[in-house]
Amino acid sequence: KTFNYTLAPSSSGTWSMLLVSKGVIEIARIQFHPDRLKIEWLDKDSGEIARTFYLKPLTSGLDSCCQF
């Protein structure tokens, strides 16, 4: 899936990410932690958290890759 995205910071340290793919808008909140990223995908109708992902850097191999 390919997205166009916009990141916007907030005073709470949480970033909001607006994703647009094929005309569909999805919203995610991103929180930066020392050892990982927390990504919460919001349901576009209710605004409730639909899914939560954590991205952690891989400790072996390529430094630039992440895993779910």
Residue 3 has pLDDT above 70, yes or no: no
Order the strands of the 49-57 sheet from edge to edge.
Answer: 4-9, 14-21, 24-33, 36-42, 49-57, 66-67
Whole-model pTM over 0.75:
no
Closest CA to 13 of 28, 31, 38: 31
Residue 62 has pLDDT above 60, yes or no: no
pLDDT at 40: 84
The SS3 assignment for 11 reads coil
Residue 67 has pLDDT above 50, yes or no: no
Residue-range definition of the domain harbouring residue 34: 4-67
Q: How many domains does the chain have?
A: 1
Say which residue, 65 or 39, is predicted with more confidence. Answer: 39
Instruction: Answer whether 39's CB lies under 8 Å from 53's CB.
Output: yes
pLDDT one-digit tens code per residue, 12-58: 666 666 666 666 667 778 887 777 788 888 887 887 888 888 877 65
